[in-house]
Each structure stands twice: as structure tokens, then as C-alpha cells.
């Protein structure tokens, strides 16, 4: 049976939550493979809105197994806060429908403290982190001093991990003018939360391998967007993990041969939260109109998103780095009513036209977009569920995007409601 990876193909906030929910009806397992609770998904199901940060989107669907993979960094306190919020909405989260990889690194309170201290004291331009400790937690993972889920089951191992962690963090904190870590308090908090976390712990790689052999369908859910990838994003204004599709394999313990289809989620225009280059950003009435009509505020941070025209150069680039099989184009209805739309087809820099975004940050900051103008439409596309429901100009816009990004549209989303979706290619088709 086909297994599908869903990744954002821009800077995040492309509408992955709805698409994953739409696909999860046909999946048996939904697995998160990177990021932390800095990610945000908004689902609208039968008029009820669910806001998720850490839990896989499939958790709101009965009969599905949700998985948090080892590529995620897990804040256990944030996890149980989110579980409690869902419980208040009638969604039960138990070890029967949620598994956490035993080798998942933990985000500790000291990670958030370090994150916020760095961002507030930096003498250079800010990265624009959420301040939730995701970056420092990944640093500890790579530095081989992280506390992982399995460590909570053995106090002796936990003590060794804490000792190693204190040596590193207390030196950092001294340099930032922070007090040393209260080791006893941190250990007490971990010992207190351990009985809540450990029932969910499992060898996820083994569970997924057995499920795949049994013919189960697995949906791999990415967080953020490919342009925030620590290697291929607009560095240093990126997240701390790999957000491209390849991470689905290493972030869950399955090999790359387990991936049959990569679905890239793409907004019909472009948005970005936080700092960093944004070639097509608009500072005029059109940008305000996109933000207002698209309700462009971050799910997790509440920050206003920067808005701009569709950037075909960047999407073509991320389709290549993630090996995208087809895209899901979202929020087409936000463009209703524009007389003219613009699509970025290249960048001009020092008299040269680029068909990709240069790697050097100094060049990224100076590129200017080369635009192609296309006809807009005044009919409504909201709620369309077939090509016949779309204005001719809207269809032309979608087809032109396909040509420019060199990747077909597999799904077209025309509202936050999951059923307002036009299926072109079934990602789960064998």
C-alpha cells in the first residue's frame, strides 16, 4: 500500500493541517517526523476548530494511530497541555492512539530559557525563533547530551545525562548572565512527568516497520516548510531541523524506500512569519488584502504573517529538494476579486537573472523579483469541489503555476473545510 509524505513547500503555514486531515481518513497511521511545538496546524472539522502544535493531525480522527517520531524534539509539559485541551473538545488521547519514539529528545525548561536569552541579547539581527527551546534541544541532541524519552525510565541514567547537561548549560548561562541551573528542581520535574510520558513510549521504528509489512498506509506529517530547512532554507533564518521530505525516513526509523509519494503543500500566494529574506513581499494594499482575506496570523505565535505574490522560483526549488510528486494548492479563494495577479518567475541581481535563490545570505537579501502578470477573476472559488466550479481565469492560474514549478497539482483546496477539495491525483493510489 502507498505511503505518503506531506511537507510544506514554502515557509510554513501553507495549510498542511487540513490536507493531512483530509488524507488521514484513508491512512492507518499518521506520523510526525521533525520539529517541535513551534509548529502549528489548524483543523476545521464539522464546524469545530482544533489547533495542534505537537500532536499529529490524525489524532482528531478515530481509529487512527498517531506517532511522534525520533526526529521530533518533545516538550512533555507542552504535550500534556495540548492533550488536555483536546480532551476538553472531546478528543481522547491515550497510548492506544498515540505512540512516542523512545529515542525522542526532550525539550526542557532550560532550553526555552536559553532560546529566549539568546534572542533578546543578540547584537546582530534576530533569527525570529518562537523562544520555545527547539533550537537548543536539537543542539543538545547533536552534542550527544540530550535527555531522551527512554532515559526517564532509569534514574541512574537520568543522573548521568543531567550531569553532562549541566556542564554544558551552566557555562552557556554564565556567559549570558543567567543563574546556574537548579539541577535538583529540574530532576524533580522530570521524575514527576515521567509516569505520564512513559506509557506512550515505544520502539516506533519497529511498529512502523511491522505496519508497513502488514500493508498499512502511513502518512508522514512534516512541520514548518521546506524553505525553513536547516540545510536548504534561507539560512540562518531557518528552523533547527530538516523540513524536507527526506527527513521522514530518518525521523521515524523507516528507510527511504518506504516513501511512495511526496505531497508538497503550496499556498496560492506566499507568506512568511518572522525574520529573513522574502523576495515577493508586498508592503501595499495588495499585501494587506492578502493578509486580511487569508487571516494570516501564526497558529502558534499569533504573529502577523508577511504576505506576497506567488514565488514560482522558490516552489520549483523546494519541489526539487523534497522530491515532490505533486502539490496541494491551498487558499486559492483568497485571490478572488483581484483584477491582476503576479507570479515571480526569476530574480534579478546585478544585471543577472537567476532561476533559483542564491545560497549566500547577502545575495538573498538583494534579489528583486521578475514578475509575470496574469489575469485575475471576480467570481468566487470558495467551496469549489470540481474544476467545473472554477472560473476559467482561476484554472489558467493553476495551470501556469504547474508549468513554472515543473510539478503537477494533485489536490486543490478552496476553503478550510476538508471537503472543499478537488482531487486530481490520489497520493495513496498504489
- Three-class secondary structure of residue 219 per DSSP: strand
User: Which residues does 213 contact at the CB level (< 8 Å), separation at least 6?
Assistant: none
Closest among 9, 25, 29, 20 to 258, alpha carbons compared: 29
Q: How far apart are CA 288 and CA 302, in angstroms?
A: 17
Q: How far apart are CA 322 and CA 232, in angstroms?
A: 10
* Chain position carrying cell 521578475: 370
- Three-class secondary structure of residue 101 per DSSP: strand
378 is catalytic: no
Catalytic residue among 21, 28, 37, 41: 41
Closest among 313, 337, 332, 341 to 411, alpha carbons compared: 332
Closest among 317, 320, 310, 316 to 290, alpha carbons compared: 310
Q: Parallel, antiparallel, or unpaired for β 352-354 and 340-349?
A: antiparallel
- Phi first, then psi: give them for residue 212, nearest 5 degrees: -65, -40
User: Which residues does 172 contact at the CB level (< 8 Å), separation at least 6?
Assistant: 114
* Contact by Cβ (8 Å): 382, 372: no
41 is catalytic: yes
Q: How far apart are CA 200 and CA 196, in angstroms?
A: 8
Catalytic residue among 13, 151, 229, 420: 13
* Contact by Cβ (8 Å): 323, 262: yes
For 34-57, b/e burial (b = at least 16 CB within 10 A) is bbbbbbbbbbbeeeeebebbbbbb
- For residue 236, cis peptide bond before it (omega within 30 degrees of 0): yes
Mark residue 296 as left, alpha or beta (left: phi above 0; alpha: psi -120 to 50; beta: remaining): beta
Catalytic annotation, residues = 13, 41
Amino acid at each position: 500500500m502507498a505511503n505518503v509524505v506531506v511537507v510544506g513547500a514554502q515557509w510554513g503555514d501553507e495549510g498542511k493541517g487540513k490536507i493531512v486531515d483530509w488524507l488521514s481518513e484513508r491512512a492507518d497511521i499518521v506520523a510526525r517526523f521533525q520539529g517541535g511545538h513551534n509548529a502549528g496546524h489548524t483543523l476545521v472539522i464539522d464546524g469545530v476548530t482544533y489547533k495542534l502544535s505537537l500532536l499529529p493531525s490524525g489524532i482528531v480522527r478515530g481509529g487512527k494511530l498517531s506517532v511522534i517520531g525520533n526526529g521530533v524534539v518533545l516538550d512533555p509539559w507542552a504535550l500534556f497541555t495540548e492533550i488536555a485541551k483536546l480532551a476538553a473538545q472531546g478528543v481522547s488521547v491515550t497510548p492506544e492512539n498515540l505512540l512516542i519514539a523512545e529515542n525522542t529528545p526532550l525539550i526542557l525548561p532550560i532550553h526555552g530559557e536559553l532560546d529566549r536569552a539568546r534572542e533578546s541579547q543578540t547584537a546582530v539581527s534576530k533569527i525570529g525563533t518562537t523562544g520555545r527551546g527547539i533550537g537548543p534541544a536539537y543542539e543538545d541532541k547533536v552534542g550527544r547530551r540530550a535527555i531522551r524519552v527512554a532515559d526517564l525510565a532509569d534514574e541512574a541514567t537520568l543522573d548521568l545525562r543531567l550531569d553532562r547537561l549541566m556542564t554544558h548549560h551552566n557555562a552557556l548561562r554564565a556567559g549570558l548572565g543567567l543563574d546556574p541551573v537548579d539541577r535538583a528542581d529540574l530532576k524533580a520535574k522530570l521524575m514527576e512527568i515521567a509516569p505520564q510520558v512513559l506509557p506512550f513510549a515505544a520502539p516506533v521504528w519497529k511498529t512502523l516497520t511491522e505496519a508497513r509489512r502488514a500493508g498499512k498506509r502511513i502518512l508522514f506529517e512534516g512541520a514548518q516548510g521546506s524553505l525553513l530547512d536547516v540545510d536548504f532554507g534561507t539560512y540562518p533564518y531557518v528552523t533547527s531541523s530538516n523540513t524536507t521530505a527526506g527527513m521522514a525516513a530518518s525521523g521515524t526509523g523507516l528507510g527511504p524506500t518506504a516513501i511512495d509519494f511526496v505531497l508538497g503543500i503550496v499556498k496560492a500566494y506566499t507568506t512568511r512569519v518572522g525574520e529573513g529574506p522574502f523576495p515577493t513581499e508586498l508592503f501595499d494594499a495588495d499585501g494587506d488584502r492578502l493578509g486580511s482575506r487569508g487571516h494570516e496570523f501564526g497558529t502558534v505565535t499569533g504573529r502577523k504573517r508577511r504576505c506576497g505574490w506567488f514565488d514560482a522560483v522558490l516552489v520549483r526549488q523546494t519541489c526539487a529538494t523534497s522530491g515532490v510528486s505533486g502539490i496541494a494548492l491551498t487558499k486559492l479563494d483568497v485571490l478572488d476579486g483581484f483584477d491582476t495577479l503576479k507570479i515571480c518567475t526569476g530574480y534579478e541581481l546585478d544585471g543577472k537573472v537567476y532561476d533559483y535563490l542564491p545560497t549566500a545570505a547577502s545575495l538573498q537579501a538583494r534579489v528583486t523579483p521578475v514578475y509575470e502578470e496574469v489575469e485575475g477573476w471576480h467570481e468566487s472559488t470558495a467551496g469549489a469541489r470540481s474544476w467545473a466550479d472554477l472560473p476559467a481565469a482561476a484554472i489558467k492560474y493553476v495551470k501556469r503555476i504547474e508549468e513554472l514549478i515543473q510539478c503537477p497539482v494533485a489536490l486543490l483546496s478552496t476553503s478550510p473545510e476538508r471537503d472543499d477539495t478537488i482531487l486530481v491525483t490520489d497520493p495513496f493510489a498504489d
